[in-house]
Amino acid sequence: MSSANIALLGAIAGFTIYLGLPIGRLRKPTPRLKAGLNAVAIGILVFLLWDVLTHAWEPTDEALGKHEWGAVASDGFTLVAGLAAGLLGLVYYDGWMARRRGGEAASRPAGPGAVGATELAPKHRSQAASLALMIATGIGLHNFAEGLAIGNSAAKGVLSLAILLVIGFGLHNATEGFGIVAPLAAAGERPSWLALFWLGLIGGGPTFLGTLVGQRLVNDTVSIAFLGLAAGSILYVVIELFAVARKTGFKTLTAWCVLTGLVLGFATDAVVTAAGA
């Protein structure tokens, strides 16, 4: 199979993320539906966090078993650095954006001219829209690492594995699309089709890019770095979504829907595991 065909399969695996995005266009969901959508997204992302960290730790774990201390140190440091950059980077970014919004609000004039000034002021993304963008970014980093796996398998001549990975990742990415827009649906915000297009491109496009890179570069360090970044950013988003879930008051519903999201994650990942076997 040619490199172009492998790249095309990588694109298909990535852009199945668009299958779950239209859920964000739901009209006026009820409070219970909002809470349920938010909780299912938490379950999917908790599974994804476990899955990402498992794959990121695997090279270090293997090096520990072989007593290759240099690899243990380098791979472990790469993972910790990626985690820190993904988690703390979003914490500081969110704090900076909050201070910026507060400063601009304080600087707006009062009085008769205030209405006109407010209309001319640039509009900021809502908290739900920011969460959706963060989720798409974290998933995109993860999907780049998935693309590397597809490309690496093709580069090693194991085409059957590459194709099965494409099928498995494609199924998995469809659930990730739902996870991206769940905060918007839970907040009752209806994104435009253009916004959904960009969210899908951010989340799914890296699978295609990773497939291109993976066919030419087989490097565990690069994969660990992207998986660490993905894990850190996903962890931050999970913390934020749990805060939203607590405010809804639907404790039992939240527990059941988190469980549903976890089961969806394991079910779709089972295809990838079967391919690896």
| Phi–psi pair at 87, nearest 5 degrees | -80, -55
How many angstroms from the chain centroid is the CA of residue 273? 20
Q: Which of 51, 231, 205, 63 is nearest to 143 (CA)?
A: 205
**What band does 80 get if pLDDT is binned at 50, 70 and 90?**
very high
Task: Indicate the burial class of 28 (C-beta count within 10 angstroms; 0-12, 13-18, 19 or more).
Answer: exposed
Read off the pLDDT band of 160 (50, 70, 90).
low
Query: Cβ of 255: how many Cβ atoms within 10 Å?
Result: 13
Residue-range domain boundaries for the chain:
3-15+30-103+137-275
pLDDT recorded at residue 103: 61
* pLDDT band at residue 101 under the 50/70/90 scheme: low
Arithmetic mean of pLDDT over the chain:
78
**Got the DSSP string for 105-128?**
HHHSPPSTTHHHHHHHSPPPPPHH
pLDDT digits (tens, 9 = 90+) for 222-236: 778 877 877 887 788
- Choose among 47, 48, 49, 23: nearest CA to 36: 23
pLDDT band with cut points at 50, 70 and 90 for residue 117? very low
Structure tokens at 179: 């996870």
pLDDT of 114 above 50: no
Q: Once rounded to an integer, what is the mean pLDDT over residues 183-212?
A: 86
Distance between CA 228 and CA 139 in Å, rounded? Answer: 12
Burial class (CB in 10 A: 0-12, 13-18, 19+), 127: middle
Interval 232-248: pLDDT, tens: 877 887 888 888 788 88
Q: 87 CB contacts (<8 Å, ≥6 apart)?
A: 232, 233, 235, 236
Nearest to 238, CA basis, from 37, 17, 43, 31: 43
Specify the pLDDT at position 168: 63
pLDDT-derived band at 67 (thresholds 50, 70, 90) equals confident
Q: Among 256, 235, 272, 193, which residue's Cα sits nearest to residue 90?
A: 235
Q: Provide the 10 A C-beta neighbour count for residue 160.
A: 10
Per-residue pLDDT tens for 126-155? 778 888 888 888 888 778 877 877 777 777
Could you tell me the pLDDT band of residue 15, with boundaries at 50, 70 and 90? confident
- pLDDT one-digit tens code per residue, 17-44: 888 788 777 776 677 877 887 888 888 8
